[in-house]
Amino acid sequence: MDKENAFILWFDQIGIEDTPLVGGKNASLGEMYTQLTPKGVNIPNGFAITAKAYFYLLEKAGIKDEIRRLLDDLDTRNILDLQERGHKIRELIRKARIPEDLEKEIAEAYRNLCRAYDSEGKDVDVAVRSSATAEDLPDASFAGQQETYLNIRGEHQLLEACKKCFASLFTNRAISYREDKGFDHFKIGLSIGVQKMVRSDKACSGVMFSIDTESGFKDVVLINGSYGLGENIVQGVVNPDEFIVFKPTLKQGYRPIIGKKLGSKEIKMVYDTHGNKNTKNVPVQSGDRKRFVLSDDEILTLARWACIVEDHYSQKAGHHKPMDLEWAKDGITNQLFIVQARPETVHALKDRTKLVQYVLKEKGDVLLRGEAVGDKIGSGKVRVIEEVHNIHQFREGEVLVTDMTDPDWEPIMKIASAIITNRGGRTCHAAIVSRELGIPCIVGTEHATEILNDAQEVTVDCSQGAQGIVYQGLLKYEKAEHDLGLIPKTKTKIMMNVANPDQAFEESFIPNEGVGLAREEFIINSEIKIHPLALLKFDEIEDKKLRLKINSLTQGYTNKEEFFIDKLARGIGRIAAAFYPKPVIVRTSDFKSNEYANLIGGHLFEPKEDNPMLGWRGASRYYSEEYREAFVLECKALLKARNEFGLTNIKIMIPFCRTIDEAKKVIEVMKENGLVQGEQGLEIYGMCEIPSNVLLAEEFLDIFDGFSIGSNDLTQLTLGLDRDSELVSEIYDERNNAVKKLIREVISVANKKGKYIGICGQAPSDFEDFAEFLVEAGIHSISLNPDTVIKTTLKIAEKEKQMGINN
């Protein structure tokens, strides 16, 4: 078959090598249809109208010279001129007559597709998608630059949609992009994909990446989904559900859904059966909004498909090739499908030998919060633009504030210092483009256009994890760049203290040997918010307002205990996955009674203590009749993270264990709830933060698999002071000789017994000389705050060199 001269090529006739003929999008569909359907990945059938057909149309219509003339001397920064010229070119193509022989071939191919899906050959619904032929260039991301038309039926509608697709090669944003990249407008052709529609209007659809889109962490699949046809997610019209699946243990047969976030999903795109349009948006019923669009089994199926697609393309490329996919669920057959796939272009090209960190140096008034895109900080004057026809008002360096963006906004997005939208999730248009441009962006704020005003000075901060924050004023920030190739390896293991699961993927790129302290408190405070006993004893709560609040937070869960277990397991799972297979030491909850009382419903279950710092905390809670059943929920969450998610790199650490008897009781409670020391490599450590832990180190280490020193509490209890009291704060110093003597002693005992000994307290992060002292004392690992890892590592390497220690 002469592919070079064909106008029509079916998906089973094309592969990725045919990109010059049918564009990246169609070549990828053909590649998957032929190669991956046998591996269980569902792809709807269809055909490509080749780029040869596009060039044939231009030639027969005789409009090429006129298009060239219209593009002559174009300045893409003159938005009004770009809009005017773009409109004229598109009109030329739309009014051109499709040559008769080409029209006949398109109609015949459509008829064959109809017969394949309908025994009577009735007009079937198809998606008509543009596929530019230079989409395979590594720095050319043409995604979203051309048009897609959905629910197209009949030959007449199909031919009209084809002309609109051909014309969309000259949308304003596509012209602007090619000019900026230096591409010849006439060397890039346009192919059209005609594909049987998946009836996701009756179910759901979305996008999926085989990489974390914010951090570039490669071991997860990120799935976004909402009801109806998929255009709303891509355009950022809806705030979708979000799911994160961990690839390494998924491939081992586990069910590692380590992230689940409910989106508002207020509208859905469906077929318009009565109006004059092919599709329309309708409201989603409130009950459906509160439900996830996919079941756990469906989430895992999509994630497995993402792995199959990524592995296939990586194998062909000879290197890791993360993918950007679109999926849809058919509401009639309940089958899932992949309807598009293209290479992810932002993180795939990122230089991983460099680590860039943005740090805000000032505090300011918080104006707004939303979902952070990227990890940068930007600032400038606000420009609120509600409608795309007003984009000519925008000035370089301003902060673009709008309801949402689509590809028509790209000419001004590239000159913005930051972007803020009311709507959209992490895979919407604004998010994708701002990542490509390297601009901080916050999406899904809901009210940005109402709260922010033109010329108002703001700072847009995406450096603090998943939540992006808009501050009043132009705040100072720093950008630090580190060459990771220059960071030396040390014999002393450098680990990290990690609290926020949302920052774990990003922090995993900092040179480390794992996590020395993962705190549960942050997850409970920010994700769960409710006292565990208020969930366990919900039926006994009489306060109607409190019941309403708890019901609101736990929507989607019939069993309130499962809410706690799921949220905690996923938070722990995110951290453990980020550093897998390195060890991640998770400390069980160490709230004091006053802190527990601050959780929703906590005041009903917590005692009033004069000195909570020395009261009912840590180990003493876990076996007590008053709290034991709440600790069991923690055990179940840890068990889920290890057994269901397959994250056996999780070690468990018990805080504030005062006596040997307490240690034995806690180990027994854990064992009764499935956390058996030694089973699947489970190690249980104790926090060494009470003088009794040091004085009886031999005995404690007969029970625990190791110790991690908590220098904060150890200093408090050695010097007999309240570390929360400013009256004695000048005496508080971890470097006091009494504290150091205890630390040196416990390190010595652990080393003699061949047990793990590390430190996760604040001191080595704050004081480099303290870190040097720990190296001298022979500690195994030092766990540091992420922002101090690099400078302290350099200091430790220097110290080891002085001591003649070889790595």
| Positions marked active-site | 429, 760
What is the phi/psi pair of residue 336, to 5°? -95, 150
d(CA 71, CA 84): 11
Both tokens of 154, joined, read 């009949």
d(CA 395, CA 400): 9
State which H helix or E strand residue 372 sits in. strand 366-373
Maximum alpha-carbon separation in the chain: 93
Between the alpha carbon of residue 696 and those of residues 223, 621, 692, the distances in Å are 50, 21, 6
Contacts 24+ apart (CB under 8 A), 358-361: 358/462, 358/463, 358/477, 358/478, 358/479, 359/463, 359/477, 359/478, 359/479, 359/480, 359/787, 360/459, 360/461, 360/463, 360/464, 360/475, 360/476, 360/477, 361/475, 361/476, 361/477, 361/478
Q: Name the residue type at position 469.
A: I
Which burial class, exposed, middle or buried, applies to 13 when counting CB atoms under 10 A from its CB (0-12, 13-18, 19+)? middle
CB 349: neighbour CB atoms within 10 A? 12
Strands, DSSP E only, in 682-737? 684-688, 706-709
Length of the chain: 807
Between the alpha carbon of residue 264 and those of residues 85, 232, 401, the distances in Å are 39, 13, 21
- Per DSSP, the three-state class of 526 is helix
Q: What DSSP state is assigned to residue 726?
A: G
- Per DSSP, the three-state class of 608 is coil
Buried b (16+ CB within 10 A) or exposed e, 651-679: bbbbbbbebeebbebbbebbeebbbeeee
d(CA 201, CA 226): 10
- Per DSSP, the three-state class of 800 is helix
Buried b (16+ CB within 10 A) or exposed e, 716-734: bbbbeeeeeeeeeeeebeb
CB 213: neighbour CB atoms within 10 A? 23
Between the alpha carbon of residue 329 and those of residues 11, 207, 416, the distances in Å are 20, 12, 36
Could you give the count of Cα atoms lying within 13 Å of 222 in the half-sphere of its Cβ?
Answer: 20
Both tokens of 465, joined, read 């994890």
What is the phi/psi pair of residue 454, to 5°? -50, 140
Of 137, 213, 125, 127, the C-alpha closest to 162 is 127
Contact 409, 392 (CB under 8 A): no
Cβ neighbours of residue 300 closer than 8 Å, sequence gap 6 or more: 245, 250, 255, 257
State which H helix or E strand residue 801 sits in. helix 789-802
DSSP β-ladder status, 190-196 and 46-49: antiparallel
Contact 570, 466 (CB under 8 A): no
Q: How far is CA 771 from its chain centroid? A: 34
d(CA 544, CA 595): 23
d(CA 212, CA 229): 23
Contact 342, 24 (CB under 8 A): yes
Cβ neighbours of residue 515 closer than 8 Å, sequence gap 6 or more: 495, 496, 497, 498, 575, 576, 579, 582, 583, 584, 585, 783
